[in-house]
Amino acid sequence: MTDTATETRSVVVERDMPFPPDRIWRALTQPQLIEAWLMKNDFVPEAGRQFTLTGDWGSVACRVLAIEANRRLAYTWDAMGLASTVTWTLTPTSGGTHVRMEQAGFRPDQGQAYGGARMGWQKFFAELEKVLAGA
């Protein structure tokens, strides 16, 4: 028997992008570039470092969990009752990089947050691709 109270869902977005991993990594870890596609922030690429993402609607408290240059970045994403983890994985391909983002930790009673994240990350990815094309 499973305990449904502890089951969580994830939002996963995957894209193949025609850019090398180091270029995408810069967009994921440099504050001015993060602001261009995601939100204002005070990000510092160090494990254990806390940072805040700030949008028109409010802010997200975050903490860097893992950082492997040009390969993997994970951080907490805590906002409005949602305690989740965002993990970025970059895998080199012959044509650029396979980018995978997973936001994990949506409880069954957080349907609105889950739906918002599913839509929001699509928009963020579109903005990320614009930043990369012009970076």
Residue 3 has pLDDT above 90, yes or no: no
Is residue 45 within 8 Å of 52, Cβ to Cβ?
no
Residue 2 has pLDDT above 90, yes or no: no
pLDDT (tens digit per residue) in 65-109: 999 999 999 999 999 899 999 999 999 999 999 999 999 999 999
- The pTM of the full predicted model, rounded to 2 decimals, is 0.93
Mean pLDDT of 2-23: 87
Residue 135, pLDDT score: 54
Residue 1, pLDDT score: 46
Domains of the chain: 10-134 (3.30.530.20)
> Average pLDDT over the chain, rounded to whole?
94
Q: Is beta strand 9-17 parallel, antiparallel or unpaired with respect to 72-79?
A: unpaired
- State the Rg of the chain over Cα: 15
